[in-house]
Copies of this chain bind each other. A is one copy, B any other.
Amino acid sequence: MATNPYPRTRRGAERREQILRAAEAMIGTQGFSAASIADITRHAKTALGTFYIYFSSKEDVFRELVLEMGQLTRAMVTQAVADAPNRLEAERAGLKAFLRFVAERPSLYRIVEEARFIDVEAYKAYFTTFAKAYAAQLREAEAAGELRPGDAEVRAWALMGIAKTLGERYVLWDETADIDHVVNEAYSMIRDGIAP
């Protein structure tokens, strides 16, 4: 159930990584149940049994992928937002970066969403961790007078909901969508609302 000890040799580390990437590709495209361990090891060019040297179960790799996605997403957004001049611009930059990320790693994105049905704890942790940091940022910005007062937590979840759904609709489903346009429209709504 728990992750196996980390490999001691260079070869081991490489194999583990190969298998992890193969799992990302297979589970990310076919889904958790459709992707078999055999698929994964075939794609990783290793023997079936090798899988169990590095992971103790299918759920185990899956969990690791969700964790990985969490780190990647947070690092990426933090970076993308780093030099925004203010919170509103940070919102625009963050949304844009997120949509780009979904375009680059659609498999990882799908895996996080499927986590809801495979490993709820990992799923909740992913979003809750993100939401906490997000809400804290919003609170700071509000204190600095950069935002209209409001419940930072509710806002954080609402904003994550926008990003998730736009990512699914305009990135995963639609190869040809004009991402900049989508970002601008969403940003305008986030900034000023829809009231006339």
Contact = CB atoms under 8 A, between A and B. Distances in A.
By secondary structure, the A interface counts as helix
B150 A158 contact: no
A13 interface: no
Contacts of A8: none
Interface in A123-142: 124, 127, 131, 138
B88 A189 contact: no
A105 interface: no
A31 B131 CA distance: 26
Interface in A105-128: 113-114, 116-117, 124, 127
A176 interface: no
A169 interface: yes
A190 B185 contact: no
Interface stretch (A45-53, A60-68, A70-78, A159-167): A159-167
Contacts of A148: 192-196
Nearest to A182: B154
A85 interface: no
Interface of A: 31-33, 88, 91, 113-114, 116-117, 124, 127, 131, 138, 145-148, 150-151, 154-155, 157-158, 160-166, 169-170, 173, 181-182, 185-186, 188-196
